[in-house]
Copies of this chain bind each other. A is one copy, B any other.
Amino acid sequence: LSELSRLARLRQLFATTPAGGIVVGIGDDAAVLAQGAGSLVWTVDSAVEGVHFRREWATLRDIGWRSFMAAASDLAAMGATPRGALSSLILPESFTDAELDELAEGQADAAQALGTAVIGGNLSRGSELSITTSVLGETLRPILRSGARPGDAVALVGPLGMAAAGLEALKRGLVDPAVERASLHWRRPNALIGEGRTAAPIASAGIDLSDGLALDASRLAAESGVSIVLEEERLRAIGGQELADAARVLSLDPLELALGGGEDYSLLMTFAAGSVAAPFVEIGRCEAGSGVFLQTADRARRKLEPRGFDHFTP
Contact = CB atoms under 8 A, between A and B. Distances in A.
A107 to B, nearest CB: 8
A228 B122 CA distance: 25
A88 B48 contact: no
Contacts of A108: 13-14, 16
A31 B100 contact: no
A35 B117 CA distance: 17
B100 A6 contact: yes
A97 to B, nearest CB: 5
Given A97-B6, A117-B19, A45 B88 contact: yes
A94 interface: no
Pick from A14, A52, A86, A136 the residue with the most CB of B within 10 Å.
A14
Interface in A280-314: 311-312
Nearest to A23: B119
Contacts of A126: 48, 50-51, 128, 130
A30 interface: yes
Interface in A21-43: 21-22, 25-26, 28, 30-31, 33, 35-36, 40, 42-43
Interface residues of A, number: 69
Contacts of A46: 88, 90, 122, 124, 132
Interface string A89-116: 0100000010011001101100110011
Interface string A115-142: 1111111111111101010101000000
A176 interface: no
A98 B229 CA distance: 37
B123 A6 contact: yes
5 contacts: A13-B108, A18-B116, A44-B121, A44-B122, A90-B128
